[in-house]
Structure formats: structure tokens, C-alpha cells
Chain A
Amino acid sequence: MTSNAEEKPGWKSLSIGAVLSEGGSSVKYKTGDWRAFKPVVTKEKCVNCLLCWIYCPDSSIIRAEKWVEVNYDHCKGCGICAHECPTKAIEMLEEQK
């Protein structure tokens, strides 16, 4: 057993069947670091049509006043938003180390 394991609860005290006693817990799990390419929005080109907001499978497009922004904590960089954008306002740029 590692010291790390000792700090965590054992099977006797964990909930049956890994049920979590709350909803929406995926918000806490930052999946943004899985990303290899990040979507970058050029505000000037965005016409706020919200196609990207509809298509985003991870609900990571944020509606701003007249354009869209990206929730980089959860965006996995799939690129669907960039593909769907009719004005090419979203560009996929390689993540830098």
C-alpha cells in the first residue's frame, strides 16, 4: 500500500456501486488538460450564430454578449466548433508546452 492509498477511504466506507451523493460532479473534473489543440475565437469574425454552442459535445462554449468564448477547463479540443463555424471565426491552434 502506498502512502497515497492510505489517505483515501477504503471499500468499507465508500458508497455502494460508486454512487456519488450529488449531481453535476463532472464540473469538478478538469478535462481541459487532455487537449492537444485549442479552439481560439476571433471576436471580430464571430456573428454569434451559436452553431458551435449547439454542436459542442462538452458544453464548453460560453455565450458572451456578442460573441462566444471557450471554457478551457473542460474543452477537450475536438475541433467540432471550428469545423461547424460558418465564418471561420474559430481556429484550432496546437497547445504549447
Chain B
Amino acid sequence: MTILGLTGDESIAYAVKQSKVDIVAAYPITPQTIIVERFSKYVADGEVHTGYVCVESEHSALSASIGASLTGARVFTATASQGLALMHEMLYIASGLRCPIVMGVANRALSAPINIHGDHSDMMGSRDSGWVQIYAENAQEAYDWTLMAFKIAEDKDVQLPVAVNVDGFVISHCMEGVDVLEDSTVGKFLQTRKPLFGLDPDRPVTVGALCFTDYYSEFKRQQVEAMQSVPTVLERVGKEYGGITGRNYSFLETFGMEDAQAAIICLGSTAGTAREVARKLRAQGKKVGVVKLWLYRPFPTEEVSAALKHVKALAVLDRAISFGAPYGALCSDVVSALHTLKESPKIFNVIYGLGGRDIQPSDIELVFNEALETAKTDVVKEETMFLGVRE
């Protein structure tokens, strides 16, 4: 066992190093910078044989990544916030051309006003772009999911890009002990990519051809099918990885849900805080639980429904606003997932942590108490709570 002191960004860079990536094309942006900075050091020191493409923008970074991926190469890139926004049109091209690119995203707020700190506005704005989305809770999970992401993305049934998300600063810049695998173990787990086609002068192909009204829908339907194949592949990859590491991954992780009457569902680092507070409250006899989603796209509807159907009240934590929508993005998905239940829990949405505002155990406790009160009274006082926002 090897434990290294790594930040979330560094743990992703380390996983990419071990994944024998052929091409990295990236542009630095806070709080993702350290991922590509560390990786460029691996390149400069000759520790990897990766082609490192320096580009002039994130739009170009993903464009170069798409081109490289289409040749059959294993490709990684990384971004955050405005960079992801600048990539936006290329996100759809990466998924539409079925490029199994893996991208590290250190989630950060979007301008304006300008802010460099963590929230999920960037990735939530790209949630319909056809990328598989995974959210890690800490540096260890970021490392583990990056390795698994290549295997999921490159599966013959998937062939889709995967974004591995870490909360800006709270994960990206905080150092933890990360249990890393031996290079040879990763080599066995993650074999060379087997592309559906590649760059071969003897067998030329056309990619990105014009596709009008008579075929476009059929190719979008193919993408839906690819997305639907992700859970099966992810489960298989998670089990294999668990067999190697003892760390088991699937769609979501629960705490205290066996008898919880009130629960929180959330993404990323907040789950750790929520679990700790739940542990404390449960010791006081309060029946609370936590559901942490690893997989956000495709949304694991059945598993979310199964995990939440017995609770009386549910607080859905969104670290981004979907302006004008009934709820934040995660809450809308959860409500959709539960709407077929005969007795759906009482649900309220909590908007929190925007622009990197810290979420303290006391904040989580307040949410749990609100959920417990809702469970008792069966009445939602406030559909959307803006946690800790001054009036």
C-alpha cells in the first residue's frame, strides 16, 4: 500500500499519469490549474510519453482533444468555470462524435460577479451536453474515479466522454492521504484503448459529416442508448476496481438510510460534512440519513428512488441555481425520480455554497432539523431555502 499526500487536483494528475494517456490538451484555469501543471511536470521529467498540446483557450483544448480522440488515442483534459463555459459547443461535439475523453473539472462559480471559488454552476450548465458526470467527495475518490472513468468511457457500449468533478478548492486544493495503486496494477486494470475506428490511411473514414433532418434524430437516439448502457458498465467497473482496492463504487453512497425519517441528498464534498453531522444527530436519537450521488449523468433514477422512498422528508442540496426553474437541477431530477412513488417524501430544495461560501456543520444541522420538522408536521415551510443568504 502506498499513501501519498495529494490534493484533489494532484490526485487526478497522478491517476492520469498512471493511465498511460496518449494526449493531454489543456489550458490552465483556477482551480483546475494544478491538474495540468503537475501533469506537464510529468511530461517534462520524462515520466510519461504523453503528447502535451499547449493551446490558446479551452475551446481549442477540447477541440484538440476531440481530434486526438478520433485518431484512437486516449485523451485527457481538464477545466473549470469560464473554461468549461468556453468549451460549451465542443462538449456536444465530443459526445456527438462519441469521443471517450476524460475531463477533470474543478467546479467553480461562473461570472458575473467574478469569483474563483467552488460551486456547481459550471457543470450544471453543461448537464445536457451528453457527458457522463461523476462527482467525487475527496481526493481519494477523485483518484479512483479518474482511473475508472477511462474504463467506463472507452467501453464499447459507452464511447462517451466522462467528466470527473471535484469541488473547487475544498477538494482541488486540499491535501489528503491518497491510497494509490502500483503502476503495473493500473496497467492491468486499464488496458490500451480499443477504438471503434482510428486513423488509418488504408482505411479512411469521414467524421463530422453533415447530417440533416433525415438522420440527425437517429444519431441522438444512439447517444441516449449509450447513456443508458453506462449504469451496467459502471457497476461492472466499480466491482472490478473494488476487487483490486477494497474501495467499492457504484451510483450512490448512503449513510443511515436504513431507518432515516429525514434525509439530505447532495453531490461532492458536502456529503462528508453531512455524514459527520448525521452521525452526531443519530447518536442523539434523531433518525437522519445522507445520500451522496457519485453518478449524476446518467441520473440513477431507480437507485435514487429506492434509497429515498422510505423517508418522510427530504432536503435536496443544490450548489447552483437554475434561474427560473421550479428547483435547482439536482432537486428537479430527484423530484422526477420520485414522482411515480405512491407516497413521495416531502421535498424541499436548499441552495447553498454559491461562490465557494463555506458550508459548516451548523448549516447542515439546521437543514436536518428543518427536514425533521417537515417529517413531523408533513408540511414544507419553504420550497426553496437559500442557506445562509443575508436578506
Query: What residues of B have a CB within 8 angstroms of the CB of A18 in the complex?
Result: 96-97, 207-209, 211, 215, 219
A14 contacts which of B97, B197, B210, B219 (Cβ < 8 Å)? Answer: B219
- Residues of chain B in range 161-208 having any CB-CB distance to chain A below 8 Å: 196-197, 203-208
A79–B172 CA distance with the chains assembled, in angstroms: 53
Beta-carbon nearest neighbor of A17 in chain B: B98
From DSSP, what is the main secondary structure of chain B's interface residues? loop
* B205 A20 Cβ-Cβ under 8 A: yes
CB neighbours of B218 from chain A (8 A): 9-11, 14
Complex Cα distance, B159 from A27, in Å, reads 29
Q: Is the CB of B206 within 8 A of A11?
A: no
Q: Nearest Cβ in chain A — how far from B353, in angstroms?
A: 37
B245 close to chain A: CB less than 8 A: no
Q: Which A residues from 1 to 38 make CB contacts under 8 A with B?
A: 4-5, 8-11, 14, 16-26, 29
* CB-contact partner of A29 in B159, B204, B210, B214, under 8 A: B210
The chain A residue sitting closest to B220, CB to CB, is A11
A5-B214, A19-B197, A29-B210 known; A11 and B219 CB under 8 Å?
A: yes
The complex places the Cα of A8 from the Cα of B212 at a distance, in Å, of: 13
Task: Assess whether B358 is interfacial by the CB under 8 Å rule.
Answer: no
The answer, among A4, A17, A24, A29, for a CB contact under 8 Å with B207, is A17
- Residue B222 at the chain A interface, CB threshold 8 Å: yes
Point out which of A17, A19, A20, A22 has the most chain B C-beta atoms below 10 A from its C-beta. A17
A74 to B222, CA, bound (A): 31
Residue contact A8 to B215, C-beta cutoff 8 Å: yes
Would you call the interface of chain A mostly helix, strand, loop, or mixed?
loop
Residues of the A chain whose Cβ atoms lie less than 8 Å from the Cβ of B211: 18
| A21→B204 CA distance, assembly (Å) | 7
* CB-nearest residue of chain A to B224: A11
A13, chain B: closest CB distance, angstroms: 9
**Do A17 and B219 touch (CB < 8 A)?**
yes
Residues in A neighbouring B196, C-beta threshold 8 A: 16-17, 19
Which residues on the B side are within 8 Å of A19 (C-beta)? 196-197, 205-207
Tell me the complex Cα distance, A94–B138, Å.
Answer: 65
A23 to B218, alpha carbons, bound, how many Å? Answer: 22
Residue of A9, A19, A23, A25 with highest tally of chain B CB at under 10 A:
A19
CB under 8 Å from chain A, chain B span 292-310: none
Beta-carbon contact of B219 and A22 below 8 Å: no
Establish whether residues B214 and A8, one from each chain, have CB atoms under 8 Å apart when the complex forms: yes
CB within 8 Å of A: which B69-98 residues: 96-98
- 6 of the cross-chain contacts (CB-CB < 8 Å) are A17-B98, A19-B197, A19-B206, A20-B209, A23-B204, A26-B209
Supply 10 further A-B pairs (C-beta < 8 A) apart from A11-B225, A17-B97: A8-B214, A10-B218, A11-B218, A14-B215, A14-B219, A17-B196, A18-B219, A19-B205, A24-B204, A24-B206
Q: Give chain B's interface residues, CB within 8 Å of chain A.
A: 96-98, 159, 196-197, 203-211, 214-215, 218-219, 221-222, 225
